[in-house]
Amino acid sequence: MSNTASQHGSSWKTWVLSIVMTAVITVMLLVLAGVFHRKVPSDAAAVSKRSAEGLKTAIVRSIQRPRFETASGTVQPVHEASVASRLLARVIEIPVTAGQTVSKGDVLVKLDDADLQARLRQAEASLAEAQTAKEKADADLARAEQLKARQAISQADYDGAKSAHQAADASVERAAQAVAEAQVMLDHATIRSPMNGTIVDKQVEAGDTVSPGEVLLTLFEPGHMQMVASVRESLALKLRPGQTIPTRLDALDLECEATISEVVPAADAATRSFTVKVTGPCPPGAYSGMFGRLLLPQGEETIIVVPSNAIIQVGQLTMVDVVEGTSLTRRYIRTGRVIESDVEVLAGLKDGDVVAVK
């Protein structure tokens, strides 16, 4: 009997302890849930009300604005040149660096030309030899003509002198062409700029050996740039060369007018878009590869705007004080673009609402 009473007493204590623990946990959950705290008013639009007397106000209004669809593009040079070697030679000197501005004819790269100098001297020596032989052939032909006039030489000897003279003329011409060829090859050892431009990058350094056709450096004309964008086909088909459209360079925070120079008449099969190229005055600081946008007009749209000095920013919340009768009601809004001194309102206000301004 004693053991049975002890077991019953232990079970009763365990049961009471379970009830107490359950109650404690329930109370803690209710506290964390905010059951015992004062509730926030359910009307979030009316956070607080104050008097509107003596405050400056403005009317929320709707305006008509052109509507645009953007197409992402990349700034590229209209004129870009890749300078390559025509020789198998070692680079002796590169007197330019990336970003440097050069003029047409400036030296960009110097190659080793020792063998080309020797070849030119050999060609010049052959030309001198051919000219000496031609002088002798000229003299022989003149003497043969004099003898033939006195009938003191046979026709065969005269024809031989004439043929030797013609061969000497051909030898001189051939030697002169060899000199010209050697000079051209020697000129290839000094690579000059084909235009006024800016160096983009160098692919070789002094001491490297280059091959014919190998690109040594790239340059472009910075004063004549274009933006190349992919435009979806339904919009691209409405564009024509010569048409003026707005463009924007985000990095420079610049918006300007550009002229469509080309609409490539072939769509990309994967994206169903056309390549559109626009040109215009090149702004300072525009470089190849920069991101830009084409703003393609799509008619007009009606938007709601509020003066920017009516906006109240608290952390990440955007609010305005709306005048309702003689009191102010603080209202949360969602804003969009900044349009001069106004701000576009996407939600929270309607046309005709009156707001307090600073």
Q: Of 152, 184, 218, which residue is a domain's last?
A: 218
CATH code, domain carrying 208: 2.40.50.100
Q: Of 300, 324, 342, which residue is a domain's last?
A: 300
Is 112 in the same domain as 176? yes
Concatenated DSSP letters for 178-229?
A: HHHHHHHHHHHTEEE-SSSEEEEEES--TT-EE-TT-EEEEEE-TTSEEEEE
> What pLDDT is attached to residue 109?
93
Section 195-211 average pLDDT: 89
Section 213-231 average pLDDT: 88
Is 130 in the same domain as 164? yes
**What whole-number distance in Å separates Cα of residue 14 and Cα of residue 21?**
11
Is 131 in the same domain as 195? yes
Q: Domain tally for the chain? A: 4
Per-residue pLDDT of 225-245, as tens digits, reads 889 999 888 888 888 898 888
Computed over every residue of the chain, the mean pLDDT equals 83
Per-residue pLDDT of 36-66, as tens digits, reads 655 544 444 444 567 666 678 888 888 888 8
Section 194-219 average pLDDT: 89
The DSSP H or E segment spanning 24 is helix 2-32
pLDDT of 4 over the 80 cut = no
Backbone CA torsion sign across 167, 173, 176, 180: negative
**What whole-number distance in Å separates Cα of residue 191 and Cα of residue 179?**
20
Is 22 in the same domain as 99? no
Is 204 in the same domain as 99? yes
CATH code, domain carrying 56: 2.40.420.20
Is 252 in the same domain as 330? no
Phi, psi values for residue 96, rounded to 5°: -125, 160
For the sheet with 107-111, list strands across it: 190-192, 107-111, 89-93, 209-210
Query: Which pair of tokens denotes residue 266?
Result: 């072939």
> What pLDDT is attached to residue 42?
43
Query: Which pair of tokens denotes residue 221?
Result: 């004309």
Question: Is residue 7 assigned to a domain?
Answer: yes
> What pLDDT is attached to residue 46?
43
Is 243 in the same domain as 213? no
CATH code, domain carrying 228: 2.40.30.170
Is 100 in the same domain as 150? yes
More confident residue, 199 or 39: 199
Is 230 in the same domain as 187? no
Its domain, for residue 225, covers: 70-79+221-300
What is the band of 192 on the pLDDT scale with cuts at 50, 70, 90? very high
Q: What angle do CA 74, 77, 79 make, to 5 degrees?
A: 155
Question: Is residue 44 assigned to a domain?
Answer: no
Phi, psi values for residue 92, rounded to 5°: -90, -40
**How many Cβ atoms sit within 10 Å of the Cβ of residue 229?**
21
Residue 160: Cβ-neighbour burial (10 angstroms; 0-12, 13-18, 19+): middle
> What pLDDT is attached to residue 51?
66
Question: Is residue 253 assigned to a domain?
Answer: yes
pLDDT of 263 over the 50 cut = yes
**What whole-number distance in Å separates Cα of residue 337 and Cα of residue 80?**
37
Per-residue pLDDT of 10-30, as tens digits, reads 666 777 777 878 877 877 777
Per-residue pLDDT of 90-127, as tens digits, reads 999 999 988 888 999 999 999 998 999 999 999 999 99
Residue type (1 letter), 285: G
Question: Is residue 312 assigned to a domain?
Answer: yes
What is the band of 251 on the pLDDT scale with cuts at 50, 70, 90? confident
Is 91 in the same domain as 199? yes
Is 213 in the same domain as 307? no
Is 199 in the same domain as 95? yes
Concatenated DSSP letters for 219-283?
A: EE-TTSEEEEEEEEHHHHTT--TT-EEEEEETTTTEEEEEEEEEEEEEEETTTTEEEEEEE-PPP
